[in-house]
Structure 1
């Protein structure tokens, strides 16, 4: 039965995604299209010649027509007239369809395996900066601008680091460029060196938020400092960001109780909830909803659990897949016929 439900869910999700992609494409290219205004060349050879002659870098739009992030970037970024004027003035812009023969060569040569993705090259075709993933303005423009200065570009900061003669600021700039480039493993490795240089009072500084996701231990100094100084973090990086981070530290453990993967333990669940309260998570956060689901599930109050999900399940909808995972695991051994019918 569960296999059939999972199969049906998969089919529904695929159909939903196909419809989403088609609707997004119609928005992009149909009657409601926002015109893409950047002036592109369409071959790397031509881009290199133009870059040499104009003394500019090359911005490469590695476009995959099937990738929703690429379509979204066309809609929200590359259709912005002011931004496009800036790009035309600052770079030679190259558009490459990654399914074309040249696109396949570029994809292989430059290791483009995630979309959306953008390259910034010099006239020799050497990578100055890589941008992995889409982003709205003005954040995307800030990422692009890293390439314009050796002190902030991926190529420049790498050389500085490899020279062995670098400051704390130089290391930070390298880490920032690595993060924008999607070089996660190297970022995590070198971030340990940078974080060892930090004092506790620096944890809450906005520029250091890029390291928050590396602290996953609720027993660690970073977590304790954040909980004790939560208003300062919220002031510097925003309530949504801070609560989202704290929620992520509880989500896996509390989800295992809510789905029944971990056997119900009232005392352990109560301790976990106490930690959540200490972190001052809002009542509508995913962890709080999952806690109540776990509690009602453990006490085998199926009617109350279904009523609770009907009223509060919407707060899980922003966390892809969690609500479905909870609901698919609601059936329990020994359920009464009336409970089964209500669940159906």
Structure 2
């Protein structure tokens, strides 16, 4: 009898070990989202002593689908999220979604909630983002000092120090919350030069400097060598480029040619990418209707510097459609450009849609309709909102003479 019991216990132990080994073998090639109700997920977070990551999406949200296709499937992303969180996703227009949207004040998509097992908000992030930024948001959630939900609570308690106020203002500004400027004013009123030269001061400058008339830009300009030494020349150049670009669009609208081209030279000195120079350069001639200059300039960029950049080529072509779709010469140039982009990326929805619309206006109706129908089929895999727009574009193309 003892031998039989011993044999059974050995078998059970072996079975248990085998099950544990099989559990360990379970792997995922994307973020693994738990099933069940919201309360069940909260309970799971409590049981595993983990925060819950909630992907708030809708069926029509194109950036949501982009994140799922391009970010959630990256190994460094899904490894970090699967190791550190109980992950959950919910359509905010179905089931428990509307109630949760109201509870957590979710008004844009995608929104990412990081909550504890009690359902308390710990951190919040929004919008489409690249993998490295997406991981950084998760790291903020795991760090109480940087977590947005904790910053909200501290702000409401009135016990925030200057560094925390800065972090809170920067987060709000990222969400385009009007309250960000209110807090910015408070921080600047309390700050001195030493604080503005600190890491927190640099965060303010990076987040809130849009033009060269601002107080923060003037401080950056006066202390440029300090910021380059401590935070990097590339990061400082990025702030300067943003200020230059804001001026450029004003100069372009007003046809202030000398000032505009001085800005182009400034962008080059600030190591701006080709896209950031090519697009405004071409648009200057569109806005001021210099047909020959637009054709010559767009040909130069497309043939000499954008040979592998189908997105930028398509953007330059699309700009003609937006500004001068009744100008035959400009539309002929747009058709030439979009055909190059289409040849490079025939499965890119935005390029296919633009290709169809431009060719519809340049008389290549049969090819335009064919591309328009392709765009509608592609939109099926994106969202209902995008599909509706694709169908409208197709009907417009069919109605052209």
| TM-score interval for Structure 1 and Structure 2 normalised by the shorter chain | 0.5 to 0.7
Between stretches 307-316 and 166-175, larger displacement belongs to 307-316
- Distance in 2, matches of 1:341 and 1:295, equals 16
- Please say if residues 51 and 116 of structure 2, whose CA atoms lie closer than 8 Å, have aligned partners that are also in contact: yes
- Distance in 2, matches of 1:54 and 1:231, equals 49
Q: Post-superposition shift, 1:167?
A: 1.9
Selected match of 2:182 from 172, 178, 189: 189
- In the alignment, which residue of structure 2 is the partner of 1:114? 108
Question: In the alignment, is residue 144 of structure 1 matched against residue 138 of structure 2?
Answer: yes
- Distance in 1, matches of 2:246 and 2:287, equals 17
Distance change >3 Å, CA 173–CA 281, structure 1 → 2: closer
TM-score normalized with structure 1 length:
0.66
- Distance in 2, matches of 1:301 and 1:82, equals 48
- In the alignment, which residue of structure 1 is the partner of 2:9? none
SS in 2 for 1:70: helix
Distance change >3 Å, CA 51–CA 342, structure 1 → 2: closer
- Please say if residues 286 and 320 of structure 2, whose CA atoms lie closer than 8 Å, have aligned partners that are also in contact: no
Q: Post-superposition shift, 1:302?
A: 3.8
Question: In the alignment, is residue 269 of structure 1 matched against residue 257 of structure 2?
Answer: yes
Alignment of 1:322-337 (within 5 A): 324-325=318-319, 328-329=322-323
- Please say if residues 205 and 217 of structure 2, whose CA atoms lie closer than 8 Å, have aligned partners that are also in contact: no
- Distance in 2, matches of 1:301 and 1:94, equals 53
Distance change >3 Å, CA 48–CA 245, structure 1 → 2: same
Question: In the alignment, is residue 68 of structure 1 matched against residue 62 of structure 2?
Answer: yes
Selected match of 1:130 from 114, 124, 141: 124
More helix by share: 2
- In the alignment, which residue of structure 1 is the partner of 2:50? 56
- Please say if residues 118 and 131 of structure 1, whose CA atoms lie closer than 8 Å, have aligned partners that are also in contact: yes
- Distance in 2, matches of 1:99 and 1:198, equals 44
Q: Post-superposition shift, 1:114?
A: 1.7
- Distance in 2, matches of 1:276 and 1:216, equals 17
TM-score normalized with structure 2 length:
0.58
Q: Post-superposition shift, 1:111?
A: 2.5
- In the alignment, which residue of structure 2 is the partner of 1:100? 94
Alignment of 1:1-344 (within 5 A): 35-81=29-75, 83-179=77-173, 182=175, 184-198=177-191, 208-209=202-203, 211-226=205-220, 236=231, 239=234, 245-251=239-245, 253-255=247-249, 258=252, 261-262=253-254, 264=255, 268-274=256-262, 277=265, 280-281=269-270, 284=274, 286=276, 290=280, 294=284, 302-312=291-301, 318=312, 324-325=318-319, 328-329=322-323
SS in 2 for 1:162: helix
Distance change >3 Å, CA 128–CA 294, structure 1 → 2: closer
Q: CA RMSD in A?
A: 4.3
